[in-house]
Structures are given as structure tokens and as C-alpha cells.
Amino acid sequence: MRSEPYNVLENGVAGRLPEEMVLFTHLSGEAEETESGQDMLIPFAFEEMLCRDVGAGQVPPVLHLWSHPGGVALGLRDSRLPRAGAAMQALEEQGIRTAVRHSGGAAVPLDAGIVNVSLLLPKSPGKLDFHDDFRLLASLIAEAVAVSHPQAAALIRAEEVTGSYCPGDFDLAIGGRKFCGIAQRRQSNAYFVHAFVVVSGSGLARGELIRSFYAEAADGDESLDYPRVRPDTIAALGELGGLDSAAVFTAGIRQAAARRGTLLKPADRLQQETGFSLQYGDPRVLEAARVLRERYAR
């Protein structure tokens, strides 16, 4: 069922955040951004393990903010294009890491100017409709933008942006140019809703990167099913009259959550109180990344 476009802030408060969430951050340049953090699959494996722990009741619901210094994450369908392997190798030779992710969607770039926002939540028995969770994350992102740039935030709409990379019903756009996409992945007892937010840098350059990948991966076969990317449909918030700093955006996310009455508990405090700890270099995370790589490798 296709969702109708709407103005995110004018639509009212969408859904409720839990009263308490644990905050994990892995932003490019932070201390834990070690060699393991350069692996494209580590953030996805980390969330896979953390989501299992949320579902098992070992940890409260989680807000995870992260970025990657430079890569392209592909959808499974992308990896099946006839020259996907050669296109991925071409990116690797440019110093751009690649990986096939297990969550939904198509190819997206990741770099220090893109902040990824994930909500990891326990699943209620019988829960089937996840549209409210998409709306919840969309409204949280718009509220984060409004903390520093209310005029830009007032223009944010949720709508599929035709011609963008990884298009979907819950693209977030200003003036028809996409700066954010939202996806989700479910497990048996928990799920996560994930957004990439293009904060700074050139949307056009990122769109061209993904357009070029598809041009080589599809080998000119117009009959194949893949996004026809038009680079001018993508923009960073900083290009749309909004903020242009990852630090300002993540501070806005924290403030938006607090204004909703959610207590964000730092991960290190959770470790002090309960002994629970999960790091990018944790053996469970590294093993999960290995399994994902073997399972979804082309």
C-alpha cells in the first residue's frame, strides 16, 4: 500500500518513543572508529546483534547514530545485476568500500557527511503494520532539523522522490529533492527502523556516484529492474537551507528525543549499571559480519 505524501511537521506528532532508550554512537572520527569500523558490514552486523539483545530483553530500546568514512551499501537486488561485481571492484579501486546489506532497499552512499539514525525496538505480539514507525522516525528527524533550522524543517515532506537512489514512500525531501531515506528490518522479537540523512557535502556528486555504479552494473541493459538515478534529485540538508554539520544534526536528534520525554542513557552508563557491553570489535559482531558477507556475497 503506497503512502500519501505529507508535510512531516504539519502532520503532528507521529507515534511515541519509549520512555528510556540507550544511545550508541559511532560517528566517523570518534575513538572507536578503528579498522573494524571501516568494514562496511560492521555497522549492520552491530545492529543485527543489538536488535537480538533488545528482543531478548537484555537491553532497553536503542537509538544508534553512526556514519562511515566512505562506501556504498548495495541492496541484494543490486548485487544480482550482470556486472555488479565489476562495478563494486571499480569502486573499491577508488578507495570506496562496498558491501551488500541485508536490510531492504537499493544502493546508497555512506560517508562522513551522512548520518545514519536507527531505532531498535522490541516487537509487540502480532505487530504487522510498521508504517507508524516510519512516520515516527520521519517526525524525529524533522524535529531534529527544527532545533537549529525551523524554516527548513517546516518544508520537509515525506514522499517518494522519483529519480533518487533507493527510492521509497518515506523519502524525506525539501522542494522535491531527497535528503533522507527510511527502511526497516524485522527479527522475530524486535525490529529496527533505519534512516540515512544526507547532512553535508554534494547531493549531486553522491547521485552521480550511484548512477555510475548502475550504468556499469547493468551493462547497458535497459530491460533490467534497477533505480534510474537522476543526480539532481538528491541534495544535502546544507544545500536545502538546513544545517550542514553532522554534530549539529546529532545534537538535534538528542534534543528532539528529550523534548518527547525520552531519557537517553549513554551506552557506557548502561555498562556500568548492568554490565552489558557491545562494541564494533566484539567477537559476536565480527562473526555476524562474516556470516552476512558469506550469505549475501554475490
| 3-class DSSP string for 241-269 | CCCCCHHHHHHHHHHHHHHCCCEEEEHHH
CA distance 231 to 219: 19
Closest CA to 67 of 271, 231, 278, 249: 249
Annotated domain spans of the chain: 16-150+181-198+244-296
Instruction: Say whether pTM exceeds 0.85.
Output: yes
Residues counted in the chain:
298
Q: Is the dihedral of CA 210, 216, 221, 224 positive or negative?
A: negative
Strand order in the sheet with 190-198: 6-7, 157-158, 172-174, 177-186, 190-198, 114-122, 62-66, 20-26, 263-266
Strand partners, 65: 25, 117
Contact 107, 73 (CB under 8 A): yes
Q: Which residue's C-alpha cell is 504487522?
A: 128
C-alpha cell at 27: 560517528
Checking DSSP bridges between strand 157-158 and strand 6-7, what pairing results, if any?
antiparallel
pLDDT for res 169: 86
pLDDT for res 36: 55
CA distance 265 to 117: 16
| 140, 145, 166, 195: the active-site residue | 166
CA distance 53 to 2: 32
Long-range contacts of residues 254-259, Cβ cutoff 8 Å, at least 24 apart? 254/23, 255/144, 255/147, 256/140, 256/143, 256/144, 256/146, 256/147, 257/17, 257/21, 257/63, 257/140, 259/143
Contact 156, 174 (CB under 8 A): yes
Q: What is the CATH number of domain 16-150+181-198+244-296?
A: 3.30.930.10
pLDDT for res 26: 96
Q: Which residue's C-alpha cell is 529533492?
A: 177
pLDDT for res 1: 43
CA distance 171 to 154: 16
CA distance 67 to 70: 9
C-alpha cell at 53: 539483545
pLDDT for res 102: 76
pLDDT for res 241: 97
CA distance 116 to 195: 6
Closest CA to 240 of 271, 202, 267: 202
Amino acid at 229: V
pLDDT for res 127: 58
Per-residue pLDDT tens listing for the chain (298 residues):
456 888 999 876 567 899 999 999 999 876 554 555 578 899 999 999 999 999 999 999 999 999 999 999 999 899 999 999 999 999 999 999 999 987 668 999 999 999 999 999 998 876 556 678 999 999 999 999 999 999 999 999 999 999 999 998 889 999 999 999 998 888 889 999 999 999 999 999 999 999 999 999 999 999 999 999 999 999 999 999 999 999 999 999 999 999 999 999 999 999 999 999 999 999 999 999 999 888 866 5
Contact 38, 97 (CB under 8 A): yes
Active site residue 166: yes
